[in-house]
Amino acid sequence: MAQVLLENLRKYYGKVKAVDGINLEIKDNEFVVFLGPSGCGKTTTLRCVAGLETVTSGNIYFGDRRVNDLEPADRNIAMVFQHYALYPHLKVHRNISFPLKAEKMPPSERKRKVKEVSELLGIEKLLNRRISELPDGDKQKVALARAIVRTPEVLLLDEPLSALDEVFREQMRIEFLKIQKALQVTTVYVTHDQREAMILADKIVVMNDGKIVETGNPEKLYEEPQNVFTGYFIGSPGMNFFDCTNKGNGTVVLSDGEGISFSEVYRQKALSLSRADFVFGIRPEYLFFREKLKGESNYFKIKLVNVERIHEINYGNFYLGDNLYKCLVSDGDELSGREGFVVFDDQKILFYNPESGRII
């Protein structure tokens, strides 16, 4: 049983609330990714689970076992650190066998285990190398090998790819998925890279300011973020959020005073909101620039500032007030500076409460 339960977990450093009341259930064999900007408490949460930090209050359970007061050594976990934390004076094979030696496994069995795990990760040729001779990607593979050589109950990974080059990252992401599926181990993975989270996670836990903002599977968080922060943080570029005011006379205006036209269903919905101000959220992928309308009913007027290419897609930038937004444009640069309309897909509209940031 390697189900992990966090119950009202808090970790304060003096007045700083690094982790501020987290409740989370991680299922057996689940691959959970903590995602958030730096300083959001994701690493601290992980270190509390590992036992490297004592908790201020709250409980941590592994299965039915409350592990709050257990040393890291007694929690049956394994961890991969951001900067590898390999033992610099030991060769690769002795780094991998370190946890086995620590629990006094006989040498022949140690050797067999090291061989097994190094074949799994494709590092059997590196076993007699020094740590200092290895490129960063291989270092992290060795660190991963050391972590999984002793079949832990819970595997913890603290930004394991952030010190690597893009090429290695790609490789290692695949490696992580392969290993996790092969080992069937409950995994908690911390990152600030939303792409990594989207690719790896069964469940993403979005964090900010020591709190969980939202939890869900990657597709759901992308398509229907329940919170403005999630929409903004997940996706590259992030979601557009427009401040809207319901004028009460059947019209809705944007922050620059320009009117926004919704198709009838959504106009009714917008007008029926009990509050006069709301936020209208939509991903740039569902927002298209047109110089002339072709009978669309969802649109508003803008002026394109410029066009940029991100991941082979042309995005047009435009301002409303001081805020920069993005939409799709069909052609390249020649549209810069043009006036026109953005039209949007009916199905993709989400309304949010401007104060709480929650979906309405």
Residues at the contact surface with other proteins, assessed by CB under 8 A: 50-52, 71-74, 77-79, 81, 83, 85-89, 98-99, 101-103, 130, 146, 150
Rounded to the nearest whole angstrom, what is the least distance from the CB of residue 132 to other proteins in the complex? 9
Which residues lie closer than 8 Å to 75 by C-beta, 6 or more apart? Answer: 50, 51, 62, 67, 153, 154
Q: Which of 187, 227 has the CB closer to other proteins?
A: 187
Token pair in block for residue 49: 């689970």
Question: CA-CA distance, 206 to 244, in Å (whole number)?
Answer: 26
Query: CB 51 → other proteins: shortest distance, Å?
Result: 8
Q: Which is nearer to other proteins, 36 or 51 (CB)?
A: 51
Nearer to other proteins among residue 91 and residue 173 (C-beta): 91
How far apart CA 241 and CA 281 sit, in angstroms, is 4
> 204: closest CA among 158, 213, 73?
213
The closest alpha carbon to 2, from 51, 57, 55, 67, belongs to: 67
Q: Show contacts of 169-174: CB within 8 Å, 24+ apart.
A: 169/196, 171/137, 172/137, 172/140, 172/141, 173/199, 173/200
Q: Are 248 and 239 in contact (CB under 8 A)?
A: no
Structure-block tokens of residue 261: 């036209």
Strand pairing of 259-261 and 299-310?
A: antiparallel
- Contact criterion met (CB below 8 Å) for 326 and 240: yes
Please say which residue, 121 or 307, places its beta carbon nearer to other proteins. 121
Helix (H, G, I), strand (E, B) or coil at 203: strand
Shortest separation between residue 78's beta carbon and other proteins, angstroms: 6
> Of 101 and 178, which CB lies nearer to other proteins in the complex structure?
101
Is the CB of 96 or the CB of 179 nearer to other proteins?
96
| Min CB(36)–other proteins separation in Å | 22
Q: How far is the CB of 52 from other proteins (least distance, A)?
A: 5
Whole-angstrom distance, CA of residue 39 vs CA of residue 80: 19
Min dist CB 110 to other proteins, Å, is 13
**Strand 57-62 and strand 4-13: pairing?**
antiparallel
Q: How far is the CB of 89 from other proteins (least distance, A)?
A: 5
Q: Please report how close the Cβ of residue 204 comes to other proteins at its closest, in angstroms.
A: 24
Nearer to other proteins, 71 or 312 (CB): 71
Nearer to other proteins, 128 or 347 (CB): 128
CA separation for the pair 154, 183 (Å, rounded): 11
Q: Are 45 and 19 in contact (CB under 8 A)?
A: yes
